[in-house]
């Protein structure tokens, strides 16, 4: 069974070192520093970056042959600011993790704290959220998490009115769905998808019509079992 090798921030690899990595991937063997014998390796490489590698190839900052060697099964993870509905679960996970590590008993996250966390733009993504939670757990006294936001952080937090997707996510959090609400939401999403001919993203897409981000709508569609094909089939039946 092949081992797994994770290469983080592959886009930061200096141009002069990229041929060496390419050679390892192609020939599946390495030679130790100062050694004279080649050693076969059997690894599956997983590489990650927050940079646009294709643009780097265009700018001759990243080798095209290495890019195509690595770009076998690409996965694009949206930034945390596009996934506000994930923040409560992540905050709970990090709180429990840090509390166990620090031998603390914290079993509640106030609604206002979640509101602030979901309002933030999170330029540092999940790692920044984890750091904020770690600091909060460290400073919290009692069993309810206190964010202890400083003045700089408070100024960075936008209001809820600035983002319709955030309002939708907070409503979902503060008012858990019931089967009746789920069915109403399902009918509403299906209707809008039919009106937009199955187009999800873009200025005329269903996400914009519903006042939420594309990733939020796709998450709702998956939860409610909605497919674009189903909506288009219903539309075709109307015109048949």
Q: Which of 21-30, 127-136, 220-229 has the lowest mean pLDDT?
A: 220-229
- Residue 170's pLDDT is 53
* E strand or H helix at 7: strand 3-7
Percentage of the chain beyond pLDDT 70 is: 81
Is the domain defined by 3-71 classed in CATH 3.10.20.30? Answer: no
Is the confidence at residue 157, as pLDDT, over 70?
no
Determine what percent of the chain is predicted with pLDDT higher than 90: 26
Question: Which CATH architecture group holds 80-157?
Answer: Orthogonal Bundle (1.10)
Cα–Cα distance for residue pair 240/226, rounded to 1 Å:
22
Q: Which pLDDT does position 56 carry in this prediction? A: 93
Question: Does 92 score more than 90 pLDDT?
Answer: yes
Residue 102: its pLDDT value, please?
87
Ranges 31-45, 65-79, 153-167: which has the least confidence: 153-167
Mean pLDDT over residues 135-145, rounded?
89
Q: How far apart are CA 9 and CA 158, in angstroms?
A: 29
Domains of the chain, by residue range, sit at 3-71, 80-157, 179-234
Using the CB atoms, write b or e for 167-190: b if 16+ within 10 Å: bbbbebbeeeeeeeeeeebbeebb
Q: What is the pLDDT of residues 182-227, one digit of tens each?
A: 788 888 888 888 887 777 777 778 888 888 878 888 888 888 888 7
Q: Which of 63-77, 93-107, 111-125, 150-164 has the lowest mean pLDDT?
A: 150-164
Query: Which runs of consecutive H residues, i.e. helices, occur in the chain?
Result: 18-27, 53-58, 64-70, 87-101, 111-119, 125-139, 151-156, 164-174, 179-195, 206-210, 214-224, 228-239
Mean pLDDT of the chain: 80
Higher pLDDT, 145 or 166: 145
The pLDDT value recorded for residue 97 is 92
Please give the average per-residue pLDDT across 21-38, as a whole number. Answer: 88
Could you tell me which residue, 165 or 104, shows the higher pLDDT?
Answer: 104
Q: What is the pLDDT of residue 172?
A: 54
Choose among 100, 88, 106: nearest CA to 173: 88
Taking the CA atoms of 60, 63, 64 and 67 in sequence, report the sign of the dihedral they define: negative
Average pLDDT rounded to a whole number, residues 10-38: 90
The separation between the first and the last C-alpha atoms of the chain, rounded to the nearest angstrom, is: 54
65 pLDDT tier (thresholds 50, 70, 90): very high
List C-alpha distances in Å: 51 to 19, 30, 68, 215.
Answer: 19, 27, 16, 20
Residue among 175, 201, 191 nearest 224 (CA): 191
């Amino acid at each position: 069974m092949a081992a797994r090798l994770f290469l983080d921030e592959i886009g930061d690899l200096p141009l002069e070192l990229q041929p060496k990595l390419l050679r390892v991937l192609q020939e599946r063997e390495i030679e130790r520093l100062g050694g004279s014998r080649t050693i076969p390796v059997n690894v599956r490489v997983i590489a990650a970056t927050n940079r646009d590698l294709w643009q780097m190839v265009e700018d001759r900052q990243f080798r095209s042959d290495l890019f195509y060697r690595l770009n076998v099964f690409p996965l694009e993870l949206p930034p945390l600011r596009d996934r506000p509905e994930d923040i409560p679960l992540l905050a709970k996970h990090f709180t429990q993790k840090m509390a166990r590590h620090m031998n603390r008993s914290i079993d509640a996250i106030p609604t206002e704290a979640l509101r602030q966390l979901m309002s933030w733009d999170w330029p540092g993504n999940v790692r920044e959220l984890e750091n904020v939670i770690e600091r909060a757990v460290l400073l919290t006294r009692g069993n309810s998490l206190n964010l202890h936001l400083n003045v700089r952080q408070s100024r960075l937090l936008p209001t809820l009115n600035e983002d319709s997707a955030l309002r939708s996510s907070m409503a979902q959090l503060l008012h858990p769905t019931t089967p009746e609400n789920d069915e109403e939401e399902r009918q509403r999403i299906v209707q809008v998808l039919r009106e937009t001919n199955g187009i999800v993203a873009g200025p005329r897409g269903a996400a914009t019509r519903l006042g939420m981000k594309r990733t939020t709508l796709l998450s709702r569609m998956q939860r409610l079992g909605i497919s674009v094909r189903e909506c288009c089939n219903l539309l075709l039946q109307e015109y048949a």
